[in-house]
């Protein structure tokens, strides 16, 4: 999964122009929510990767969240086809997901001085998967040793996720975020076969900046609140 890339810190730009970006989805957590949750996300194809910018309600890891740090899962239905991918019982938004991206704030207790860090796991889901754990773990990264794939600035996390591993591809991708205790949020973005991965119209990480990010996503369901 690892490829030689410029460190994200060198190719990301979080300037005033960021406010103009169109989000793939937004979420307003209930009052009293203890864990950091994603409140604003941008997702799009970039070359053979999916690029994500995830803004959390508070820092996703570190002493500020203590033992209640981020534990978030984003699902990508990479061909927008519910007939393939994850198969949960009943009519659930998660059905059809081909990729699970799990973002967790955690601590390294093995060292003499426990180190807080952000861990990202990626699981490949198939029609044989009946829950998230049924998927094969195809990548496990953290922001300390994978700066070419994970970059953190305050409450915002930037990710590059490899779209290889024989993932199904289509002209559209469905993004699913299901906060605990809320309705699932769904949005649609251009897929790997849309041409957007190479023509620069939806690229997030590009030549030291955000690129055009012309189309962040189209909402499929109502915003959870």
Is residue 119 domain-resident?
A: yes
Domain containing 213 equals 8-219
**pLDDT the model gives residue 195:** 76
Q: Which residues of 3-36 are buried (b: 16+ CB within 10 A; e: fewer)?
A: eeeeebeebbeeeeebeebebbbebebeeebebb
pLDDT of residue 199: 57
**pTM, whole model, 2 decimals?**
0.81
**Is there a domain that residue 1 lies in?**
no
Asked if residue 3 is part of any domain, the answer here is no
Q: Is residue 224 part of a domain?
A: no
Distance CA 37, CA 19 (A): 19
Is residue 225 in a domain? no
Q: Whose CA is closest to 170, among 196, 203, 147, 145?
A: 196
Q: Does residue 21 lie within any of the structural domains?
A: yes
- At 161-199, the pLDDT tens digits run 998 878 999 999 999 999 999 999 999 999 988 876 665
214 lies in some domain: yes
Beta bridge partners of 72: 103
- 202-212: pLDDT as tens digits: 445 544 444 43
Domain membership of residue 134 (yes or no) is yes
Query: What secondary structure letter does DSSP report for 44?
Result: E
> Residue 143: its pLDDT value, please?
92
């Amino acid at each position: 999964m690892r490829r030689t890339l410029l460190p994200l810190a060198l190719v990301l730009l979080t300037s005033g122009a960021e406010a103009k970006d169109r989000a793939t989805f937004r979420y307003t957590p209930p009052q009293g929510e203890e864990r950091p949750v994603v409140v604003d996300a941008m997702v799009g194809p970039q070359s053979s990767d999916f690029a994500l910018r995830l803004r959390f309600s508070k820092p996703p890891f570190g002493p500020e969240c203590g033992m209640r740090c981020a534990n978030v899962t984003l699902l990508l239905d990479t061909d927008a086809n519910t007939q393939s991918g994850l198969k949960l019982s009943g009519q659930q938004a998660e059905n059809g997901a081909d990729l699970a991206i799990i973002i967790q704030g955690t601590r390294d207790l093995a060292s003499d001085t426990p180190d807080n860090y952000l861990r990202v796991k990626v699981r490949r889901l198939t029609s044989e998967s009946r829950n998230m754990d049924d998927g094969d773990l195809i990548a496990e990264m953290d922001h300390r040793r994978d700066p070419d794939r994970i970059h953190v600035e305050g409450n915002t996390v930037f990710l590059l996720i490899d779209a290889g591993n024989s993932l199904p591809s289509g002209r559209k991708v469905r993004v699913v975020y299901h906060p605990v205790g809320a309705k699932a949020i769904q949005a649609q973005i251009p897929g790997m076969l849309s041409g957007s991965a190479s023509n620069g119209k939806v690229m997030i990480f590009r030549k030291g900046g955000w690129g055009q990010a012309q189309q962040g996503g189209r909402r499929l369901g109502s915003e959870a609140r």
